[in-house]
Amino acid sequence: MADLVTHAAVGLLLKSVTARRHTAVFIAGTLLPDLLSRLPSMVCSAARVVVEVPSLLIYGWDPLHTPAGMLLSSYAISLLFVAEHRRGVFLNLLGGMLLHMAVDLLQSHLGVGYPVLFPFSLHAFELGLIGSEATVPLAIPLAILAGVVWRRGQPSSEPSEASAVSR
């Protein structure tokens, strides 16, 4: 859970200093790699207690956590939107997903890293600058920081003097 909060907070911080259009889609993109790959895998693994689950249903979701899977899932999801918004949705979903990958690549894991060149190579890569559990104590402060930075960048909801005079 802390990892999802961290990904969303980093996405919100980035959107705070860039174009704010499609922010919700961008933030969704920062969450989708884990939701599309890790969540089904965890559900299928848990189901093993009750029923036999083929390994493909446990590990077959992993390609969705690679740049190729991110590209395809961003495209597929963007098709659910009206034509005039598809390009922006696609780019923001993909941008959020790639930001997710960039943050993940900073981590070190007990297992293998990420096959960023999949399907062309299965070679795993990660920078190993922080432990994968390091996001737990950072999640809440980072979320608060992101909220404050985002809020400060929002235009004031109070009418300005110029608009009050013109009424």
pTM over cut 0.95: no
Which stretch, 1-5, 38-42, 147-151, has highest mean pLDDT? Answer: 38-42
Query: Which residues form the domain of 115?
Result: 2-165
Backbone angles phi, psi at 72, to 5 degrees: -65, -45
Confidence of residue 2 (pLDDT cuts 50, 70, 90): low
Reported residue count of the chain is: 167
- pLDDT, tens digit, for every residue of 22-36? 999 999 999 999 999
> Could you give the number of structural domains in the chain?
1
DSSP assignment of 88-141 equals: HHHHHHHHHHHHHHHHHHTEE-SS--B-TTTTT----B---SEEGGGHHHHHHH
pLDDT tens digits, 91-145? 999 999 999 999 988 887 766 778 888 888 888 888 878 777 777 888 888 898 8
- Whole-angstrom CA distances from 104 to 11, 22, 126, 133 are 13, 23, 8, 11
Structure-token pair, residue 105: 């690549």
